[in-house]
């Protein structure tokens, strides 16, 4: 359970600091984004010379994978940068 005790102690979840778990979660999101982008690239390469309506749907699926992968990557990197800031001193 997550606890936050007075006195400046960090919050914990199952014995680990929440910041460590958040960092691990962000790395997992980055990995998922890279895998999705790789799947989109692989799908695009496999259907490059394809003809017909099925190739169109497969390429549309590749665009969906690319958008989802980019959403994961931008979200995770944005949160990592936001967590790196330690107040206004970081901006100076």
* Domain-embedded: residue 92: no
Q: Which residues in 11-81 belong to E strands, given as ranges?
A: 12-13, 16-17
Give the Cα separation of 26 and 19 in Å (integer).
Answer: 11
> Which pLDDT score, from 0 to 100, does residue 45 have?
83
The predicted-structure confidence for 1-51, as pLDDT tens digits, reads as follows: 445 455 556 566 566 665 666 777 888 888 888 998 998 888 888 777 777
Q: Has residue 86 got a pLDDT over 70? A: no
Does residue 50 lie within any of the structural domains? yes
pLDDT for residue 42: 87
Domain limits for position 46: 12-84
Cα atoms found within 13 Å of the Cα of residue 8, Cβ hemisphere only: 0
Give pLDDT, residue 66: 92
How many distinct structural domains can be found in the chain? 1
Q: Is the pLDDT of residue 88 over 80?
A: no
In a domain, 7, yes or no: no
């Amino acid at each position: 359970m997550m606890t936050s005790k007075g006195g400046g102690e960090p919050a914990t979840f199952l014995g680990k600091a929440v910041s460590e778990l958040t960092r691990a979660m962000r790395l997992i999101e980055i990995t998922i984004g890279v895998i999705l982008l790789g799947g989109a690239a692989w799908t695009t390469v496999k259907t490059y010379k394809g003809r017909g309506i099925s190739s169109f749907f497969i390429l549309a699926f590749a665009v969906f994978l690319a958008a989802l992968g980019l959403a994961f990557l931008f979200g995770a990197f944005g949160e990592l940068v936001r967590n790196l800031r330690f107040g206004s001193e970081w901006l100076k």
